[in-house]
Amino acid sequence: MAIANGEKTAARSAPLNETSFIGWLHKNLFSSWINTILTLASLYIIYMVVMSMWTWGIANAVWIAENRRECFAISKDGACWAGVIIWLENIFYGRYPRDELWRVNLGGLLLILWMAPLWLPRVRDKIFIGLSTVFLYPFLAAYLFSGGDKGIFMQIMVSGAIVCLIGNTLHAAIGVFGDSSLPATLLRVLGKAEASDSNQRNTLLTILAIAFVAVFLLQMGWTTKFVPWTKWGGMFLTLVISGIGITSALPGGIILALGRRSKLPVIRVLSTSFIELFRSVPLITVLFMATTMFPLFMPEGFVLNKLVQVIIAVCLFSACYMAETVRAGLQAIPKGQYEAAHTIGLGYWGMMGLIVMPQALKHMIPNIVGSFIGLLKDTTLVSIIGLFDILGMLRSISQDVPWRGLHKEPLIFGAMVFFIICFIMSKYSRHLEVKLSAGANR
Amino acid sequence: MKPISFITSVAAVTAVAAMTFAGATVASAKSTLEIVKERGNLRCQVGTPSPGFYNLDAKGEWYGSDVSICQAVAAAIFGSKKKLEIQSVSSQVRFTALANGESDLLSRTATWTLLRDSQLGLDFTAVNFYDGQGFMVPKNSGITSALDLKGATVCVLTGTTTELNLADFSRANKLNIQPVTFEDQNVRNDTYLQGGCDAITNDKSGLASNKAAFPNPGDHIVLPETISKEPLAPAVRQGDGQWFNIVRWTVYALIGAEELGVTKANVDDMRANSTNASVRRMLGVEGNLNEGLGLGKDWAYNVIKEVGNYGEIYEAYMGGGKLGIGIGRAGSANDLWTRGGLMYSPPFR
């Protein structure tokens, strides 16, 4: 006998097991007695670790004190963050003169201002903005950080950089708010929107020249106090070295990788041996060679800035690693792509720049960011050759007489700083990957 | 441990190569004094921060007894201790950095030994601190002499002569000491404080400054024995006698000033009113002691005026001063010879 009910039964909610928190716990953590034991044991371990860190690092910690003895007087089993706090300026700026710190901060702000348009929507000519960051910003920053007398070359580059920065910022603002570009807006304002191409170009060049001359005259009255590189240090120095290393790694790596895959034997052999030489030597050896041995081979009285030597060494080293990453990316591109590019009449550079590289770079992002993060951390090796980067400064705290022996807290602080920077980099790379592969999921 | 021993070997190779080139590079037409004067500042090499000798403070300025030697030499040449560039060089490449001309002067805790003096192309000038290796133990261990350390485990820093001295001492006295080696002194101290070893061995200056930083300094004692001789002296490149004399006599000026009772505070008064012929000659009031050194007449006056005499420097950084590491001086090797120590300046005449 079949019981048929024409009425549809009311929808029941999912079983408690599947939706409630308790159900989730039961299913995932306490499903059998062995899992229950494991869960409880893990919880206990986590509790112990977190509690002891909390007690040591926060609850019993000393935040304000004159010296370590005072920390001990207040609490013997807590962290003494006071030493790290008093040393913060050293940790971030090194021995940079304290009343000139604004220059370092301004340099950082200008970089953000310069690069911000790259991430804003509706801004045009982003390639130009990116290139100007790489080629002009370093001059402005170099003068800002080191100061002193400007040579004529430096004056020109600094003026160019300032003009470019103003132009970039206006261009970005016009792009975001007016959905237009700086040249177009200028022409419209001057009533030349309808003029001929050559007329327009001459007008724009005139405006550029006037702006350049104006800035040039203004900057002649602007000088800052000379700060020798030996006073640079802390996080600032770490970022300068790794920043330059990172910026130059990709172009250098691409050139080396293309060289290694080149059909011309001389270029191929040179690139390959260069890459293999630097890759098979540890960075610290390269640094020792650059700073200690190099001066011995130079003529009498020729003393090159040690910081420059270090930066060159880091750039060469990172370019070689990057070259292999790029080569791996190139090999992932099917041969058909090359052939297709040739078919539509592209030459070597057109094929590489328009077809192959864009696809290859997308595949390489995780590796590229991986090497950047590695490079950032590797630059702490310069503390061994006597530059006071962030690690050098952190380690000096335990030797300063008032803070004698304070070594755990600075290193923990340093670990947090590095974690934050590296985590942001890796999150950003993830974001880039998703953004660039949007086409693949269409 | 591995990477550091690798670094050490790299450094050794660099040093040997540097010495090979040093002769060619350094034998120049210009004397070091001329080069320094032309440049306008003295490049003085210290090490990575080490309490008492050379340290960075929270403002990013260098201080310490070896830094004071740098300042004294700068004052002797330029009349101002500020005309100075302090270079911090790791101990692996310290002698190379002096040999290749990067530094004019090495003023850091380098022990004066025959090997270094004769084979590294450098000259030690004058001892400015007599150190020696010792032991520190917890007070409640009941140990009162290093000879009680039979079978003990001793924490020691690796890669220095400290380790070697410990082994020699153990063998000579049949103590069968078990060394526990460390790369980082902070880690070594933590291990010792947690009972990981029965004693620490290090230079006594280092022991004193470590002890002062312990949570309970009173619970530890430094044993009386000194098992090695560590005379620390500033060094210069070989082959420039004038430069060697300038550095050596700057150190002697510091010691001599203390012998003669000239201090930072009374140096002006002494120069104007002293009737002591030695003081008058030293401070340049009479005679021409400066000529052979190629310095100005008031070089020693400037040294004392800018940095004070040896005793003042000791008190500030090694003794009980605010930035001092608290090593007693009375009766020790670092006291003046008139008070039973070894600090002795040849006469200023």
**pLDDT per residue over A2-16, tens digit each?**
667 777 888 887 776
- Residue B200: predicted pLDDT: 94
Which tokens is A129 given? 């903005």
CB A226 within 8 Å of CB A146: yes
Q: Which residues of B touch A81 (CB under 8 A)?
A: none
B169 pLDDT higher than 80: yes
Cross-chain Cβ contact A284/B28 below 8 Å? no
B26 pLDDT higher than 50: no
Q: Looking at residue B92, which CATH number applies to its domain?
A: 3.40.190.10
Q: What is the mean pLDDT of residues A229-238?
A: 90
Q: What is the pLDDT of residues B87-130, one digit of tens each?
A: 888 887 888 888 888 899 999 988 999 999 999 889 999 999 99
Asked if B255 and B216 sit in the same domain, the reply is no
Highest mean pLDDT among A214-218, A298-302, B337-341: B337-341
B244 pLDDT higher than 60: yes
Which of A122-126, B135-139, B289-293 is predicted least confidently?
A122-126
In chain B, which residue's Cα lies nearest the Cα of A76? B215
Q: Best interface-test mutation with B: which of A95, A104, A399 has the largest number of B CBs within 10 A?
A: A399
Q: Which residues of A touch B323 (CB under 8 A)?
A: 401-402
Residue B346 is assigned to a structural domain of this protein: no
C-alpha distance from A75 to closest chain B C-alpha (Å): 10
Cross-chain Cβ contact A396/B61 below 8 Å? no
- Cα separation of B272 and B278, whole Å? 14
- Cα separation of A194 and A183, whole Å? 13
Residue type, position B160, single letter: T
Residue among A282, A296, A386 whose CB faces B88 most closely: A386
- Residue B112: predicted pLDDT: 93
Report domain extents, chain A. Answer: 35-87, 98-226, 231-335+361-399+407-437
Q: Which residues of B touch A395 (CB under 8 A)?
A: 48-49
- Residue B262: predicted pLDDT: 95
Asked if B114 and B20 sit in the same domain, the reply is yes
Q: What dihedral angle (degrees, nearest 10) is formed by the CA atoms of A78, A82, A83, A85?
A: 130
C-alpha distance from A425 to closest chain B C-alpha (Å): 28
Cross-chain Cβ contact B90/A398 below 8 Å? no
The parent domain of residue B59 ranges over: 2-130+231-339
Q: Which residues of A touch B213 (CB under 8 A)?
A: 68, 404-405
Which ipTM value was assigned to this complex? Answer: 0.82
Q: What is the mean pLDDT of residues B151-179?
A: 90
H or E element at residue B44: strand B42-46
Residue among A95, A288, A402 whose CB faces B60 most closely: A95
User: Given pLDDT bands bounded at 50, 70 and 90, which one contains residue B1?
Assistant: very low
Q: What is the pLDDT of residues A162-171, one digit of tens each?
A: 999 988 888 8
Could you tell me what percent of chain A has a pLDDT over 90? 31
User: Given pLDDT bands bounded at 50, 70 and 90, which one contains residue B27?
Assistant: very low
- Residue A440: predicted pLDDT: 60
Q: Which residues of A touch B27 (CB under 8 A)?
A: none
Q: How many CB atoms lie within 10 A of CB A182?
A: 21
The H-assigned helical ranges of chain B are: 2-26, 32-39, 65-78, 94-99, 114-119, 161-172, 185-193, 204-213, 241-259, 267-273, 277-282, 299-307, 310-313
Return the axis-axis angle of helices B65-78 and B32-39, rounded to nearest 10°. 90
Asked if B204 and B119 sit in the same domain, the reply is no
The overall average pLDDT reported for chain B is 88
- Cα separation of B337 and B347, whole Å? 13
H or E element at residue A273: helix A265-279
B23 pLDDT higher than 60: no
In chain A, which residue's Cα lies nearest the Cα of B60? A95
Domain end point (choices B228, B247, B281): B228
Asked if B270 and B297 sit in the same domain, the reply is yes
Residue among A94, A228, A301 whose CB faces B60 most closely: A94
Asked if B119 and B236 sit in the same domain, the reply is yes
Cross-chain Cβ contact A404/B51 below 8 Å? yes
* Between A300 and B147, the higher pLDDT residue: B147
CATH superfamily name and code, A231-335+361-399+407-437? MetI-like (1.10.3720.10)
User: Given pLDDT bands bounded at 50, 70 and 90, which one contains residue A441?
Assistant: low
Domain end point (choices B196, B228, B260): B228
* Between A313 and A441, the higher pLDDT residue: A313
A153: number of CA atoms within 13 Å, CB side? Answer: 2
- Residue B25: predicted pLDDT: 46
* Between A236 and A132, the higher pLDDT residue: A236
Q: How many CB atoms lie within 10 A of CB B247?
A: 27
Residue among A296, A392, A405 whose CB faces B18 most closely: A296
Q: Give residue for tokens 């030797």.
A: A399
Asked if B328 and B296 sit in the same domain, the reply is yes
Q: Which residues of A touch B21 (CB under 8 A)?
A: 296-297
Asked if B116 and B162 sit in the same domain, the reply is no
Q: What is the mean pLDDT of residues B319-328?
A: 87
Residue B349 is assigned to a structural domain of this protein: no
In chain A, which residue's Cα lies nearest the Cα of B209? A404
Closest CA relative to residue A164, chosen from A220, A215, A104, A102: A215
Residue B23 is assigned to a structural domain of this protein: yes
**Number of inter-chain CB pairs under 8 A, A vs B:** 119
User: Given pLDDT bands bounded at 50, 70 and 90, which one contains residue B22?
Assistant: very low
Asked if B13 and B112 sit in the same domain, the reply is yes
Cross-chain Cβ contact B60/A98 below 8 Å? yes
Q: What is the mean pLDDT of residues B253-271?
A: 94
Asked if B174 and B265 sit in the same domain, the reply is no
A303 pLDDT higher than 70: no
- Residue B3: predicted pLDDT: 41
C-alpha distance from B187 to closest chain A C-alpha (Å): 9
Cross-chain Cβ contact B101/A295 below 8 Å? yes
CB B313 within 8 Å of CB B307: yes
Residue type, position B12, single letter: A
B330 pLDDT higher than 50: yes
The H-assigned helical ranges of A179-233 are: 182-189, 197-220
Asked if B171 and B120 sit in the same domain, the reply is no
- As a residue count, chain B comes to 349
Which tokens is A265 given? 């034997």
Residue among A296, A384, A399 whose CB faces B51 most closely: A399
pTM: 0.84
Asked if B174 and B108 sit in the same domain, the reply is no
The overall average pLDDT reported for chain A is 87
Give how many domains chain B has, as a whole number.
Answer: 2
CB B166 within 8 Å of CB B156: yes
Asked if B32 and B102 sit in the same domain, the reply is yes
- Residue A431: predicted pLDDT: 86
Residue B60 is assigned to a structural domain of this protein: yes
Cross-chain Cβ contact B14/A72 below 8 Å? no
Evaluated on CA atoms A277, A282, A287, A288, the torsion sign reads negative
Residue B207 is assigned to a structural domain of this protein: yes
Cross-chain Cβ contact B186/A233 below 8 Å? no
User: Given pLDDT bands bounded at 50, 70 and 90, which one contains residue A296?
Assistant: confident
Which of A104-113, A126-135, B282-291 is predicted least confidently?
A126-135
User: Given pLDDT bands bounded at 50, 70 and 90, which one contains residue B202?
Assistant: very high
